[in-house]
Structure 1
Amino acid sequence: MAAFNFEEYFQSKFSERLFQDPDASENHMTAATRLLEKKREMLELEQALSAQKEAFQMKMASLNSRREELDKKELSLRGSLMKFNQFLIETDIKKQRAEKKANNERQEKEQKVEEAEAKMAEREKLTSFLEKQRKVSEREKVYRSYMERVIEKSGEFQELKDILRKHDTLSSNLGDMIEKSTVMTDRLDSMKQEYYTMITKNDEATMRYTNIIADLTWRKETAMSNHQKWESLWTHIQNTAARNVLLLGRVKMATENIYVQIYKQRGIPAKEAESVDDQLIKIKTYIKDLTDIIVESSKQEKQSKEVFDRLAMPGK
Structure 2
Amino acid sequence: MAFDLEEYLRTAFRDKLRLPTVPTRDGAALPPSARLPLKRREVAEVERALQSQREEFRQRMERLAQRRRQLGRREEELRDVVLKFDAFLKVPGRGPGPGPAVGAPADSVPAPQASAARRERALRRGDEERARAAGQGAEVARLRRELEGLLRRRERLARRLRSLRGFGDYLRSVLAGMGQFQDIPAMLAHFGALAGARAALAQQAEAGQEQLAQGRARLRRYREEAGSKLLRTNDELTRLRARLEDARRDVLQGESHWARVQSTATQKTLLLGQIKLAVLNLFQLATARLEVPTDVALEDTEAQLDTVLLCMQDLAAISAELLPRQPGTCPPRLPVATSINPLRHGGARVPPSQE
Normalising by the residue count of structure 1, what TM-score does the alignment of the two structures yield? 0.38
- Name the structure where helix makes up a greater proportion of residues: 1
- Asked which structure has the greater CA Rg, the reply is 2
